[in-house]
Structure 1
Amino acid sequence: MIRKTLNASRLQQEVDRRIHRLQEIVEDGVKIRVPRPQLQEPDKTGCNWNMAHFGNAVGFERDIDGVLKAVRAEYNLSTESKSATDPFGD
Protein backbone atom coordinates (compact mmCIF):
# COMPACT_ATOMS: atom_id res chain seq x y z
CA MET A 1 0.00 0.00 0.00
CA ILE A 2 1.33 3.43 -0.92
CA ARG A 3 1.26 5.87 1.97
CA LYS A 4 -0.27 9.32 1.69
CA THR A 5 1.88 12.19 2.93
CA LEU A 6 0.93 14.80 5.49
CA ASN A 7 2.85 17.67 7.04
CA ALA A 8 3.74 17.47 10.74
CA SER A 9 0.73 19.47 11.96
CA ARG A 10 -1.80 17.43 9.98
CA LEU A 11 -0.19 14.16 11.08
CA GLN A 12 -0.30 15.27 14.71
CA GLN A 13 -3.98 16.23 14.32
CA GLU A 14 -4.85 12.88 12.74
CA VAL A 15 -3.22 10.89 15.56
CA ASP A 16 -4.91 13.16 18.13
CA ARG A 17 -8.32 12.71 16.47
CA ARG A 18 -8.03 8.92 16.40
CA ILE A 19 -6.79 8.65 19.98
CA HIS A 20 -9.59 10.81 21.34
CA ARG A 21 -12.22 8.71 19.52
CA LEU A 22 -11.17 5.53 21.36
CA GLN A 23 -13.95 4.28 23.64
CA GLU A 24 -11.72 3.84 26.71
CA ILE A 25 -10.35 7.36 26.43
CA VAL A 26 -13.77 8.89 25.80
CA GLU A 27 -15.24 7.03 28.80
CA ASP A 28 -12.43 8.14 31.11
CA GLY A 29 -12.61 11.72 29.82
CA VAL A 30 -8.83 11.93 29.65
CA LYS A 31 -7.02 14.41 27.40
CA ILE A 32 -3.81 12.93 26.01
CA ARG A 33 -1.13 15.27 24.73
CA VAL A 34 0.03 14.15 21.30
CA PRO A 35 3.61 15.13 20.38
CA ARG A 36 4.79 16.32 16.98
CA PRO A 37 5.94 13.55 14.65
CA GLN A 38 9.69 13.24 14.26
CA LEU A 39 11.26 12.51 10.89
CA GLN A 40 13.46 9.42 10.78
CA GLU A 41 15.05 7.18 8.20
CA PRO A 42 12.36 4.93 6.69
CA ASP A 43 12.02 1.74 8.73
CA LYS A 44 11.52 -1.77 7.31
CA THR A 45 7.87 -0.96 6.56
CA GLY A 46 8.80 2.28 4.76
CA CYS A 47 7.44 4.65 7.40
CA ASN A 48 9.60 7.78 7.83
CA TRP A 49 8.33 9.15 11.16
CA ASN A 50 7.57 8.27 14.76
CA MET A 51 6.10 9.86 17.87
CA ALA A 52 7.27 9.48 21.44
CA HIS A 53 6.49 10.94 24.86
CA PHE A 54 2.71 11.22 24.84
CA GLY A 55 1.46 13.28 27.78
CA ASN A 56 -1.11 12.03 30.31
CA ALA A 57 -1.01 8.59 28.69
CA VAL A 58 -0.40 6.28 31.66
CA GLY A 59 -2.63 3.26 31.31
CA PHE A 60 -3.41 3.96 27.65
CA GLU A 61 -0.08 2.93 26.12
CA ARG A 62 -1.52 -0.11 24.33
CA ASP A 63 -4.37 1.95 22.82
CA ILE A 64 -1.96 4.65 21.68
CA ASP A 65 0.40 2.07 20.16
CA GLY A 66 -2.52 0.64 18.16
CA VAL A 67 -3.44 4.05 16.77
CA LEU A 68 0.19 4.86 16.02
CA LYS A 69 0.67 1.57 14.18
CA ALA A 70 -2.43 2.21 12.03
CA VAL A 71 -1.52 5.82 11.19
CA ARG A 72 2.12 4.91 10.46
CA ALA A 73 0.84 2.30 7.97
CA GLU A 74 -1.29 4.93 6.18
CA TYR A 75 0.83 8.09 6.19
CA ASN A 76 4.37 9.33 5.76
CA LEU A 77 5.65 12.65 6.97
CA SER A 78 6.11 15.17 4.19
CA THR A 79 9.79 15.93 3.75
CA GLU A 80 9.30 19.03 1.62
CA SER A 81 10.45 22.07 3.48
CA LYS A 82 9.04 25.48 2.81
CA SER A 83 11.52 27.67 1.02
CA ALA A 84 12.56 30.83 2.78
CA THR A 85 11.52 33.23 0.07
CA ASP A 86 11.20 36.93 0.57
CA PRO A 87 7.48 37.80 0.58
CA PHE A 88 8.35 41.20 -0.92
CA GLY A 89 10.28 39.74 -3.84
CA ASP A 90 13.60 41.33 -2.93
Structure 2
Amino acid sequence: MQRKTLNASRLQEEVTRRLGRIHNIADEGVKISVPRPNLQEPDASGCNWTMKHFGNAAGFERDIEAVLKAVRAEYNLSTEKKDAGNPFGDFPGG
Protein backbone atom coordinates (compact mmCIF):
# COMPACT_ATOMS: atom_id res chain seq x y z
CA MET A 1 0.00 0.00 0.00
CA GLN A 2 1.30 3.42 -0.97
CA ARG A 3 1.53 5.76 2.01
CA LYS A 4 -0.01 9.21 1.88
CA THR A 5 2.14 12.08 3.12
CA LEU A 6 1.34 14.60 5.82
CA ASN A 7 3.39 17.39 7.34
CA ALA A 8 4.51 17.14 10.97
CA SER A 9 1.57 19.12 12.37
CA ARG A 10 -1.01 17.03 10.52
CA LEU A 11 0.62 13.76 11.65
CA GLN A 12 0.59 15.00 15.22
CA GLU A 13 -3.09 15.94 14.89
CA GLU A 14 -3.97 12.55 13.38
CA VAL A 15 -2.33 10.62 16.21
CA THR A 16 -4.04 12.89 18.77
CA ARG A 17 -7.42 12.42 17.07
CA ARG A 18 -7.11 8.63 17.01
CA LEU A 19 -5.99 8.45 20.62
CA GLY A 20 -9.01 10.55 21.60
CA ARG A 21 -11.33 7.98 20.00
CA ILE A 22 -10.07 5.11 22.17
CA HIS A 23 -12.74 4.38 24.78
CA ASN A 24 -10.57 3.66 27.80
CA ILE A 25 -8.55 6.85 27.22
CA ALA A 26 -11.69 8.93 26.68
CA ASP A 27 -13.48 7.31 29.65
CA GLU A 28 -10.57 8.16 31.94
CA GLY A 29 -10.58 11.75 30.72
CA VAL A 30 -6.86 11.52 30.04
CA LYS A 31 -5.24 14.07 27.76
CA ILE A 32 -2.16 12.44 26.26
CA SER A 33 0.49 14.84 25.04
CA VAL A 34 1.52 13.79 21.53
CA PRO A 35 5.03 14.79 20.42
CA ARG A 36 5.90 16.03 16.95
CA PRO A 37 7.09 13.29 14.61
CA ASN A 38 10.80 12.93 13.94
CA LEU A 39 12.07 12.25 10.45
CA GLN A 40 14.20 9.12 10.15
CA GLU A 41 15.61 6.95 7.40
CA PRO A 42 12.80 4.71 6.11
CA ASP A 43 12.57 1.55 8.18
CA ALA A 44 11.97 -1.98 6.82
CA SER A 45 8.30 -1.15 6.21
CA GLY A 46 9.15 2.11 4.42
CA CYS A 47 7.95 4.47 7.16
CA ASN A 48 10.14 7.58 7.47
CA TRP A 49 9.09 8.93 10.88
CA THR A 50 8.71 8.02 14.52
CA MET A 51 7.31 9.55 17.72
CA LYS A 52 8.76 9.17 21.19
CA HIS A 53 8.13 10.55 24.66
CA PHE A 54 4.36 10.88 24.90
CA GLY A 55 3.22 12.86 27.92
CA ASN A 56 0.69 11.57 30.48
CA ALA A 57 0.89 8.12 28.85
CA ALA A 58 1.33 5.84 31.88
CA GLY A 59 -1.01 2.88 31.56
CA PHE A 60 -1.87 3.61 27.94
CA GLU A 61 1.33 2.39 26.26
CA ARG A 62 -0.44 -0.43 24.39
CA ASP A 63 -3.08 1.93 23.02
CA ILE A 64 -0.43 4.42 21.90
CA GLU A 65 1.62 1.67 20.24
CA ALA A 66 -1.45 0.39 18.35
CA VAL A 67 -2.32 3.89 17.10
CA LEU A 68 1.28 4.56 16.07
CA LYS A 69 1.46 1.27 14.21
CA ALA A 70 -1.71 2.08 12.26
CA VAL A 71 -0.78 5.69 11.45
CA ARG A 72 2.80 4.75 10.48
CA ALA A 73 1.37 2.16 8.07
CA GLU A 74 -0.82 4.81 6.40
CA TYR A 75 1.32 7.95 6.33
CA ASN A 76 4.83 9.17 5.73
CA LEU A 77 6.19 12.48 6.93
CA SER A 78 6.36 15.02 4.12
CA THR A 79 9.91 16.06 3.39
CA GLU A 80 9.00 18.90 1.04
CA LYS A 81 10.10 22.34 2.12
CA LYS A 82 7.62 25.14 1.60
CA ASP A 83 8.77 27.91 -0.68
CA ALA A 84 8.99 30.96 1.55
CA GLY A 85 8.84 33.19 -1.50
CA ASN A 86 10.63 36.49 -1.51
CA PRO A 87 11.27 37.46 2.12
CA PHE A 88 11.56 41.13 1.14
CA GLY A 89 8.17 41.33 -0.55
CA ASP A 90 9.60 42.88 -3.73
CA PHE A 91 7.73 42.44 -6.96
CA PRO A 92 9.64 40.37 -9.51
CA GLY A 93 11.29 42.56 -12.13
CA GLY A 94 10.41 45.65 -10.14
Same-fold status (TM-score > 0.5): yes
Aligned match of 1:21: 21
Query: Pairwise mapping of residues 51-66 of structure 1 onto structure 2 (< 5 A)?
Result: 51-66=51-66
- Following superposition, the deviation at residue 84 of structure 1 comes to 3.4
Q: Aligned-residue CA RMSD in angstroms?
A: 1.1
Structure 1: how far apart are the matches of 2:60 and 2:90? 50
Aligned residues: 90
Unmatched 5+ residue regions in structure 2?
none
What is the identity percentage for the equivalent residue pairs of Structure 1 and Structure 2?
70
- Following superposition, the deviation at residue 82 of structure 1 comes to 1.5
- Following superposition, the deviation at residue 89 of structure 1 comes to 3.4
Unmatched 5+ residue regions in structure 1?
none
Structure 2: how far apart are the matches of 1:69 and 1:10? 16
| TM-score, scaled relative to structure 1 | 0.95
Runs of 4+ in 1 over 2 A off after TM superposition: none
| TM-score, scaled relative to structure 2 | 0.91
Structure 2: how far apart are the matches of 1:20 and 1:55? 14
